[in-house]
Amino acid sequence: MSGKECFEVLDKIFIPIKKQTIGKIRGYTMKYGHIVENGEIIDEVLVSYFKEPKSYTTENMCEINTHGGNIVMRKILELCLKNGAELAEPGEFTKRAFLNGRIDLLQAESVIDIINSKSEKEAKTGIKQLEGVLSSKIAEIKQEILDVMVNIEVAIDYPEYDVEDVTNNQILNMLTSIKKKLKKLEKSFDNGKLLKDGVKTAIIGKPNAGKSSLLNSILNEDRAIVTEIEGTTRDTIEEFVNISGIPLKLIDTAGIREAKDEVERIGIEKSREIAENADLVIAIFDSTNEFSSEDREILEIAKNKKTIIILNKIDLETKVDENSTELAQFSGNIIKMSALTKEGLEDLYKKIEEMFNFNEINVDNEILITNLRQKNLITKAIENVEKTEETIRKNEPLDIIAIFIKDILEDLGNITGDYVTEDIINEIFSKFCLGK
């Protein structure tokens, strides 16, 4: 519970050991006792106390640790509600921390990212952001703008003062420096997005090439931690696997499996569709048969993508030569393996690691943007920097330039939540699960 009166609610349902007065308990302490209703003990609990302003929300807070289990927890929740508490909205605790000024919007969003993270690196990025690394970067850029802005304002408002004139060149230099910093942040989203959403991976190939077998081999491996998420289209499931810290989102197309008994044509069309939006294409071939025209079509699809070619079924007698001319352009990215015996699976993993070397993304030293809202605002800020540059080149008066510079400040302010609207705040916090 959080809020001014939460201790009063607690007082009605909790009897601490030695019947200590709840108001007298110090913050950052934990008390043992009982939750009671009409003199009857509901559960034996531990309650943690946080006194304003030193709490997650900056308000008075308490947390009741029960024995868990649905019945007791529900009962205690009911008792809290009956005695004056209200049920929290999704993300309400974090929202209060934001509205009360303890964290900015970037930090609030990082809480969602930490909770939802699917790999250690992603969690680490979230934690860094919660510590305010990105916030200070934005603040640094804002300060740079403000410094020039102050000079401009003085020159506009008090022309009679003998302040040093701000020259157009000075403003342009400042803008160049800001643009460079913003561009770097914008660029970091490429990696940030892969880290957060996973490398979208499509396994394509003719019916019977071994797509399902490969998928199963990967999913059944101990080292691949799997989370199943609903796909974007009705007949796909997306499986999240974590291979040596590289998050892969495998697009598992149920439709392709069904196509096995249908004409091969359908399989190829499907392959084309899913390969189109993938970050990585794994094209798999049954190497016990020579390449057919469909296989060549699959190669054609894979051509313009980041691709790994799998020559499958090497446990049997093979007829495909990895040095053949049609495979020449994929050389270095060809894996010979058996999806059935898992021979060569390690080679596939090594290749993926090599292609998406997340170790090179230095999570410790690099600021990564992982959130689309933040990225869009940075893009907008860059556009406004460019508009301002244009205004200066056209030799517009200072007060016009000042208006454009204020727009950049506003974009940056929107990122950290200085001036966001209630709608945006509600949208952001609705993404939280309950009770966070």
Which residues are near ligand GDP by CB under 6 A? 205, 207-213, 257, 260, 312-313, 315-316, 338-340
Least distance to ligand GDP from the beta carbon of 223, Å? Answer: 20
In this complex, which beta carbon is closest to ligand GDP, that of residue 257 or of residue 306?
257
Identify which of residues 106 and 214 has a Cβ nearer to ligand GDP in the complex: 214
Q: How far is the CB of 215 from ligand GDP (least distance, A)?
A: 8
Q: What is the side-by-side strand order in the sheet with 61-65? A: 14-16, 29-37, 40-50, 61-65
Structure tokens belonging to residue 180: 């460079």
Closest CA to 435 of 121, 182, 170, 80: 80
Least Å distance between CB 315 and ligand GDP? 5
For the CB of residue 212, give the shortest distance to ligand GDP in the complex, in Å. Answer: 3
CA 112 from centroid of its chain's CA atoms: 8
Supply the minimum distance, in Å, between the C-beta of residue 334 and ligand GDP. Answer: 15
Amino acid letter for position 120? E
Phi, psi of 234 (to 5 degrees): -60, -35
CA–chain centroid gap for 262, Å, is: 39
264 or 366: whose CB is closer to ligand GDP? 264
- Is 148 in contact with 164 (CB distance < 8 Å)? no
The tokens of 95 are what? Answer: 């929202």
At residue 62, φ and ψ (nearest 5 deg) are -145, 150
Nearer to ligand GDP, 181 or 260 (CB): 260
- Indicate the residue among 147 and 321 with the shorter CB distance to ligand GDP: 321
- The residue (of 209 and 320) whose beta carbon lies closer to ligand GDP is 209
263-276 b/e with 16+ CB inside 10 Å = b?
ebeebbebbebbbe
- Give helix 398-416 / helix 168-197 axis angle, nearest 10°: 20
Task: Quote the least distance from Cβ 270 to ligand GDP, whole Å.
Answer: 11
